[in-house]
Structure 1
């Protein structure tokens, strides 16, 4: 293995100036087989002569760099795959179009064997101006087998006119028809010779990609997607390559699942010591959307009579896709439309329903380019509410009173001082729509702190599965009920005693709720204590910044939720 190489730079200064050149950092690094880059900065000159190598590594190249765009720097690309075989003019180039590399000549080194490649090692760099050395650095060429490779199936929406990586990439396991499927490979030791999708389809130097259907019928051949039909975009500086194709072209079919495989055959590759195989599955789906809460109680979406009534939903469309959410009263007296953007597979629109009366009926339509993706009927329901009194607890349950969940859901209790999973102290099972005098919330572990304040929040069941998923989904499902843009919640101070709290079986006031085995208990004998100083008083809120509480960081969603809950009215 080679122990070193030298890159030296000398520069002929512009007439009447004293030129200077230096490297942008002391150590550069990349893998064998890749296109390595280093940058030379110049002052007082636009030209420098670069010498690569020396007798210690039996390899030397000399060339001139020209700062053609006048920005005072030239980034040089060095194809380590071609370094010991091809003419130097094909090995070194300028990254920026305005700059150039000229008169490259290999003075020493090169291999007769077509399979022999440049060795790994630490390659010293030197730069000189007018024959005077002005800076030194090192370029470490590493073995690619030490690299942590990965494969991801992403979705994007940007066209490829500029051959740029699509914007708003996100990984969800699904790609909507007409969006772009983007196979992202993080790897090394390939960028010196993989130049096109055809190279990957043909297995150049043992590096290949294959895409095959996985949900085909028994005894039928799976659909095979030709990787050569994709567009290849490479980013050697981030060790990533992207294979991109629209799913409304070629052999992709909505409803089908596919498996992508990235492979390196060590026997055919000059850099890999062992075989590499990475796989990732994805599904192509139709363009659609789902409205959260649709099909709930009464098969209608429940809306809150607030100035910021929220209609949210999910969609497999790529991040950045714009949708129109329309809310129309059945008598056409009310009509509002909001344009929303899909982010992480979700969207949300807010409407002013502060003047709407309970029972008012509406229709909700979600559209993309005038095509309806989702529709549901909606009705304005009584506002959600709850109250968490100051209380004594046995440390195993906490009491929340006057709970009203017009569309059903959950009651969760959080500790605003905890930082990770401990932030969620406990939550109920699914509660049917209705009103509850008292709900007991079991906590995950016995409470040991006395006189501490906790926060109760009313949550919706947005996906209708009756499973509390707010924390696990980082807030994307089962979000809180809201009133005027704030989470419905309340806080209460808890004193831990050795006396167990009441365990009376709850009976919700709503007859629907009584049928749910997951409903928690009601104890109408527990009085509601007065609000403590500095907390709540008949629904008003004093200034308390829970979001800035140190260490409260389970997820950004929980942080925002607890902070918002404490500016909501404690009860109507």
Structure 2
């Protein structure tokens, strides 16, 4: 259709009676009576104020009763104190003692009084009515996206209105505005809307010819005017489809997620299943946020006993899922209305989407049996429950695989299992109770003969993270809680019992870990347990049982200085703190210490002459975990240390080898070192 332009003049006329000063009154369709004259009243500029019998205000003066016929009155502007300041206009009462007062041109506070003797009749005020109008949507079509709102902004509320339009009949305008709470009535040129109390007037342009339209809004008794433009386009056919072409694969008991695309429609019908699987659910989805998509989550576990698809299908965000008419759940060989007792079985469920009664796209939801495949243990640096991350991704940034957990650190038990997450959504369900078929138990395995070991379950963990996307959940255990002690060995065991409708027999996964003392020690001490530190840039190293990622300070103190450097525990349990002793004299005695949340170490040290110490550590670690939680670990570590001195001779030392003399020392330096050692021994003997 060729687009045409129509100039529509929509006149919002407050229903008032415009009375002539000289003659009576004339009433039109959609109008109302003029405003009555009352003391203290506020009127809107342009309104007509009327009184059939003008009376003196006897509350402030002795004069009372009717003013009389053909009496001159003054409208005096008043200041903030209520005192008359200047004349705004003069009027006369009519032949019967009545009054018609036009407020056009007035704005502010006024006093109506007799011209003779200034007797008060009434105080009143006049305010101007502002008005703006706009459509929420700049464009709509006449088939699908037909609705929008006409927004009116004014400081006034409760005024009446009439809408007229060139090119549209009163009946067409009535259809446009006949959607919301407003009740339009037809007039000669358009429609009248009485007592507009909302800023938003609902409109629907279904069936209106395509074109550009300008609406002019005019308030009847004040003359306030505003315009709003809208473009109406020719609507296209409604279409819906699945956002992805491939099948939707998920485990039975989990949530299957998929997205529906919508074009030229805000709703479409979805059907899951059919005769081939003896179960079917159909429902309508709504694109309430008008982004052209509806993302759906299909909880396959919640299908058990459900007769309403909204029980197990939900839409994300503002979008919605509803059922209408015969839509619902059907089951059995003849697909009669009704539910099945267990979650729907594994299999292939044809899924269709279409507007109305049509099928416009087809996909498949393939459900497979879930399983419990294994468990393993990680360690996490000490932290409070309040400081644990909210998302599993944040947790995994700070874990390292290790089954020896230092006291005060966190043990993180990872369970790999699928088919759980349509029902297992809360940590409380891991309490080994009778209400759920799940259990995560922590049992001490080294309590000794005839002793009952420590025991707690998953509900006592600090936090549990469910990672449905990766068929995994993580239970975080604080080794300072649940009566855990240093030296304890634990078996973490997850099971889904045969009482679950998803399995025919109990499935389990186990993992073990030990709680060890929180230790910290320096490496590279000589035979006298003295840490020799070469002058220049160097690293002070050590080993610890604390979780990788833990940071702490290493301090080096002498009589002349105190220096501190931060160390971070690596994945193989070592740490290294960088220092620069370039300006420290060889022979300077040191105290080297470190404290890391309950673990500490302190050794004597000495600065010796030499260059930078380079330490290379190569570690290979392999861990294999099976469902029976048998772990085989192979670890090989080779450490090579090279020390360069300022002399012309360079010596290389490999740990584990032996030879004469003091490694890394020339003759002169050796004498200095021996002297320093003797002094240190003398100090200790004192």
8 A contact 1:156–1:169 mirrored in 2: yes
- In the alignment, the residues of structure 2 paired with residue 374 and residue 67 of structure 1 have an alpha-carbon distance, to the nearest angstrom, of 64
2:423 aligned to 188, 193, 197, which one? 193
- In the alignment, the residues of structure 1 paired with residue 453 and residue 263 of structure 2 have an alpha-carbon distance, to the nearest angstrom, of 60
Task: Sort the Cα spacing of 1:259 and 1:84 in 2 relative to 1 into closer, same or farther, 3 A.
Answer: closer
- In the alignment, the residues of structure 2 paired with residue 472 and residue 194 of structure 1 have an alpha-carbon distance, to the nearest angstrom, of 35
Q: Does 1:90 align with 2:311?
A: yes
Give 1:109's aligned residue.
331
Give 1:227's aligned residue.
458
Map 1:124-523 onto structure 2 (within 5 A). Answer: 124-128=350-354, 133-144=359-370, 147=371, 149-157=373-381, 159=385, 163-165=390-392, 166-167=395-396, 168-200=398-430, 201-202=432-433, 206-230=437-461, 231-266=463-498, 268-293=499-524, 295-307=525-537, 309-328=538-557, 330-333=558-561, 335-344=562-571, 345-368=573-596, 373-381=600-608, 470-472=619-621, 478-481=638-641, 508-510=659-661
Query: Which secondary structure does the structure 2 equivalent of 1:118 belong to?
Result: coil
Give 1:444's aligned residue.
none
Task: Sort the Cα spacing of 1:236 and 1:372 in 2 relative to 1 into closer, same or farther, 3 A.
Answer: closer
CA offsets per residue over residues 400-448 of structure 1, 9 Å max, x none?
xxxxxx9xxxxxxxxxxxxxxxxxxxxxxxxxxxxxxxxxxxxxxxxxx
Give 2:281's aligned residue.
61
- In the alignment, the residues of structure 1 paired with residue 144 and residue 550 of structure 2 have an alpha-carbon distance, to the nearest angstrom, of 52
- In the alignment, the residues of structure 2 paired with residue 90 and residue 476 of structure 1 have an alpha-carbon distance, to the nearest angstrom, of 56
Give 1:410's aligned residue.
none
CA offsets per residue over residues 123-151 of structure 1, 9 Å max, x none?
2333335666554332211122xx56111
Which structure is richer in relative contact order (CA contacts within 8 A, separation 6 or more)?
A: 1
8 A contact 2:415–2:509 mirrored in 1: no
8 A contact 1:346–1:476 mirrored in 2: no
- In the alignment, the residues of structure 2 paired with residue 479 and residue 507 of structure 1 have an alpha-carbon distance, to the nearest angstrom, of 15
Calculate the TM-score normalised by the size of structure 2.
Answer: 0.50
- In the alignment, the residues of structure 1 paired with residue 277 and residue 340 of structure 2 have an alpha-carbon distance, to the nearest angstrom, of 19
- In the alignment, the residues of structure 2 paired with residue 361 and residue 193 of structure 1 have an alpha-carbon distance, to the nearest angstrom, of 64
Give 2:113's aligned residue.
none
Task: Sort the Cα spacing of 1:209 and 1:475 in 2 relative to 1 into closer, same or farther, 3 A.
Answer: closer
- In the alignment, the residues of structure 2 paired with residue 164 and residue 203 of structure 1 have an alpha-carbon distance, to the nearest angstrom, of 29
- In the alignment, the residues of structure 1 paired with residue 263 and residue 550 of structure 2 have an alpha-carbon distance, to the nearest angstrom, of 46
8 A contact 2:533–2:607 mirrored in 1: yes
- In the alignment, the residues of structure 2 paired with residue 194 and residue 306 of structure 1 have an alpha-carbon distance, to the nearest angstrom, of 58
Query: Which secondary structure does the structure 1 equivalent of 2:310 belong to?
Result: helix
Cα offset, 1:324, TM superposition? 1.8
Cα offset, 1:59, TM superposition? 1.9
- In the alignment, the residues of structure 2 paired with residue 46 and residue 367 of structure 1 have an alpha-carbon distance, to the nearest angstrom, of 63
Query: Which secondary structure does the structure 2 equivalent of 1:199 belong to?
Result: helix
Unaligned stretches of 5+ in structure 2? 1-142, 147-234, 623-633, 645-649, 665-686
Task: Sort the Cα spacing of 1:223 and 1:475 in 2 relative to 1 into closer, same or farther, 3 A.
Answer: closer
Query: Which secondary structure does the structure 1 equivalent of 2:503 belong to?
Result: coil
Q: Comparing 224-233 with 34-43, which one deviates more in the overlay?
A: 34-43
8 A contact 2:442–2:456 mirrored in 1: yes
- In the alignment, the residues of structure 2 paired with residue 184 and residue 148 of structure 1 have an alpha-carbon distance, to the nearest angstrom, of 12
- In the alignment, the residues of structure 1 paired with residue 291 and residue 602 of structure 2 have an alpha-carbon distance, to the nearest angstrom, of 55
Cα offset, 1:304, TM superposition? 3.7
- In the alignment, the residues of structure 1 paired with residue 373 and residue 464 of structure 2 have an alpha-carbon distance, to the nearest angstrom, of 18
Task: Sort the Cα spacing of 1:187 and 1:361 in 2 relative to 1 into closer, same or farther, 3 A.
Answer: same
Task: Sort the Cα spacing of 1:277 and 1:58 in 2 relative to 1 into closer, same or farther, 3 A.
Answer: closer
Task: Sort the Cα spacing of 1:511 and 1:290 in 2 relative to 1 into closer, same or farther, 3 A.
Answer: closer
Map 1:550-569 onto structure 2 (within 5 A). Answer: none
8 A contact 1:205–1:270 mirrored in 2: no
Task: Sort the Cα spacing of 1:99 and 1:252 in 2 relative to 1 into closer, same or farther, 3 A.
Answer: farther
- In the alignment, the residues of structure 2 paired with residue 69 and residue 313 of structure 1 have an alpha-carbon distance, to the nearest angstrom, of 58
- In the alignment, the residues of structure 2 paired with residue 316 and residue 174 of structure 1 have an alpha-carbon distance, to the nearest angstrom, of 8
Calculate the TM-score normalised by the size of structure 1.
Answer: 0.59
